[in-house]
């Protein structure tokens, strides 16, 4: 970061009266984006370093070094840490669900492994990690089904989600426990998420919040769709975190659902449209500050964003508030100046 950027307002200070401002970090960006992190963010999430395959790649082997570095960095700078994630259908070793002969393991075996994993990871960080995405992306996107047909569902059965939350609560009684998902504002899916969390609350399962990922686009979802989802979730009395916010500059404007292969030129016009989109989003989020406790971006600056490979591999995107040189974008100013 050049000195020119040192005299800009701090994003997280500006938002202190509203909610925490977080960023997903990785082992590299913890160093390469250190100045931005320290100045503008008061919460961090590990982009990958706490996922099962990274932190616990084999049955008897944990790899804590990268997660430790992140947690130490946060402690040093007084930042909140969101733990991400425990039970997910992705980035989990296949071996978790297999026995010694390579056959599907029994429910009892998988449940014991889950307990051991959660006790180890949550135990290690119980002083430093304030909340966990206990279950990630468990409901289906479309169709008439309800729960995603994952290995977790297949081996542990329908109540695996309730089990995961109970196990997490036992391992870290003070941690806030979240259900996290994407396409979280789409009417059918948000109804499924609502129903899932309402059911868990009814059963007395220790769940404290819903994580709305917020992988959004220039023109989708519509603002009223976002408001509806927030209000519906908030009606359950749980906390809301926006957990993975980024706004792709590729929108449905192209009529391709954001999947066009064409790379846009990131010109002033596009920068301005992104800024307007961010302005309306943050104005909406500020208006819901009583229920939204934290807003985390899925990355720090445009030089390191998963959106360069999602939903189109190798297509450059510019979804964050800081540019590829770590300078503030128009979008940055549109969220701090209000
Ligand atoms: C998220 N999935 C994950 O929670 C996060 O861990 C990962 O690093 C990136 C994104 C989002 C996602 C999606 O928006 C659509 C399909 C699959 C996954």
Backbone angles phi, psi at 219, to 5 degrees: -125, 10
Q: Whose CA is nearest to atom 9 of ligand 1?
A: 306
Q: Is 243 in the pocket of ligand 1 (CB under 6 A)?
A: no
Alpha-carbon radius of gyration of the chain: 20
Q: Which runs of E-coded beta strand occur in 142-285? A: 176-181, 209-212, 215-217, 239-248
The answer for residues whose C-beta is within 8 angstroms of residue 66's C-beta and 6 or more apart is: 27, 46, 49, 54
Its pTM stands at 0.96
Pick the atom of ligand 1 nearest to 48's CA. 8
CA of 136 to the centre of ligand 1 (A): 9
CA of 214 to the centre of ligand 1 (A): 10
pLDDT in tens, the chain (338 residues): 455 566 899 999 999 999 999 999 999 999 999 999 999 999 999 999 999 999 999 999 999 999 999 999 999 999 999 999 999 999 999 999 999 999 999 999 999 999 999 999 999 999 999 999 999 999 999 888 999 999 999 999 999 999 999 999 999 999 999 999 999 999 999 999 999 999 999 999 999 999 999 999 999 999 999 999 999 999 999 999 999 999 999 987 556 777 888 888 899 999 999 999 999 999 999 999 999 999 999 999 999 999 999 999 999 999 999 999 999 999 999 999 99
Q: Output the six-digit token pair for 264.
A: 């846009």
């Amino acid at each position: 970061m050049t000195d020119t950027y040192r005299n800009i307002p701090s994003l997280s200070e500006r938002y202190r009266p509203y909610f925490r401002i977080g960023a997903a970090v990785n082992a590299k960006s913890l160093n390469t984006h250190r100045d931005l992190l320290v100045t503008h963010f008061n919460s961090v999430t590990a982009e990958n370093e706490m996922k099962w395959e990274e932190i616990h790649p084999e049955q008897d082997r944990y790899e804590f070094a990268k997660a430790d570095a992140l947690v130490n960095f946060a402690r040093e700078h007084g930042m909140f840490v969101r733990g991400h994630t425990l039970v997910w259908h992705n980035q989990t070793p296949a071996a978790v669900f297999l026995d010694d002969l390579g056959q599907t393991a029994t429910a009892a075996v998988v449940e014991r492994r889950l307990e051991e994993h959660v006790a180890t990871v949550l135990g290690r960080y119980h002083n430093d990690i304030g909340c966990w995405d206990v279950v990630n992306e468990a409901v289906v996107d479309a169709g008439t089904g309800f729960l995603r047909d994952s290995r977790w569902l297949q081996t542990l059965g329908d109540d695996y989600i309730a089990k995961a939350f109970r196990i997490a609560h036992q391992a870290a009684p003070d941690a806030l426990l979240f259900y996290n998902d994407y396409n979280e504002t789409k009417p059918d899916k948000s109804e499924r998420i609502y129903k899932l969390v309402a059911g868990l609350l009814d059963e007395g399962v220790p769940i404290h919040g819903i994580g709305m990922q917020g992988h959004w686009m220039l023109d989708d979802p519509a603002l009223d769709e976002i408001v509806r989802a927030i209000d519906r979730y908030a009606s359950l009395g749980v906390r809301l975190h926006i957990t993975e916010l980024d706004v792709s500059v590729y929108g449905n404007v192209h009529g391709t659902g954001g999947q066009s292969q064409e790379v846009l030129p990131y010109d002033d016009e596009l920068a301005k449209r992104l800024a307007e989109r961010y302005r309306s989003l943050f104005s909406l989020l500020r208006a819901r500050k009583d229920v939204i406790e934290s807003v985390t971006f899925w990355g720090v600056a445009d030089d390191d964003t998963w959106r360069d490979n999602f939903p189109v591999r190798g297509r450059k995107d510019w979804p964050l508030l800081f540019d590829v040189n770590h300078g503030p974008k128009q979008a940055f100013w549109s969220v701090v100046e209000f």
